Amino acid sequence: MESFSIHVTASKLGQLQSRTEIQGLFESLCAIIWQSISRIRDGPEPKIITICKKGEEKKEGLVGNNRVISVVKVDHSIKEANPSDLASLIKNKTIDERLKIDEAIEKDHGVSDIVVYGANLTFVNMEGADLYGFNWKGHKSTIVSYLIDGVGDVGTIVVLPTGPNDSSKDGLEGRIVNMTLPEDEIMKLKFELSKEWSIA
């Protein structure tokens, strides 16, 4: 497995959204990358993906993990699908897997490791994370990176904000997309994203 990042500027995100007519930046990027990986990957297409995103806020004083881990399943070709349809599935047709994960952990008394990131092709939404809010002696972060280690062999894509210095006139921020994928797919994916979407 190898990791690499791409920077998608605010203006490029605007172009992608108008071209695909997809609501939601995270969903747009997921749909485009999912389809691109399906096109370059040898073997069967990844017809099940995992989506990890922030859940509802806990009530004040309550501590807990509020990540939502869900899956999207399709029974048709991803390669030939309309990216807008894929994004709609990601936005509206996820299946919550948290109960299944809790049951699996409880069943073997928390002894086994459960691979969440990369067991399926996994997309992690970190858009709402306040990565640039840290202030140290009057200095703020200008570039922040986030990487998930111990990824399963199918791959993980993490979508992060680029920060306040990469905003368009309408307030749209760019995104950094960190990908951890099988090493032999990286150059092919970069080429596919560049050819089809002018990103990479």
Q: Where are the alpha helices (DSSP H) in 41-184?
A: 83-92, 98-107
Give the number of other Cβ atoms within 10 Å of residue 169's Cβ.
Answer: 8
Q: What's 2-197's CATH class? A: alpha beta
CA distance 152 to 138: 39
- Residue pair 120/154 in contact (Cβ under 8 Å)? The answer is yes
Q: What is the pTM of this model?
A: 0.84
Residue 40 has pLDDT above 90, yes or no: yes
Q: DSSP 3-state assignment of 89?
A: helix
Following DSSP, what letter does each residue of 17-38 receive, concatenated? HHHHT-S-HHHHHHHHHHHHHH
Tell me the average pLDDT across 46-57.
Answer: 85
The pLDDT assigned to 129 comes to 78
Domain boundaries, the chain: 2-197
The pLDDT assigned to 134 comes to 79
Residue 20 has pLDDT above 80, yes or no: no
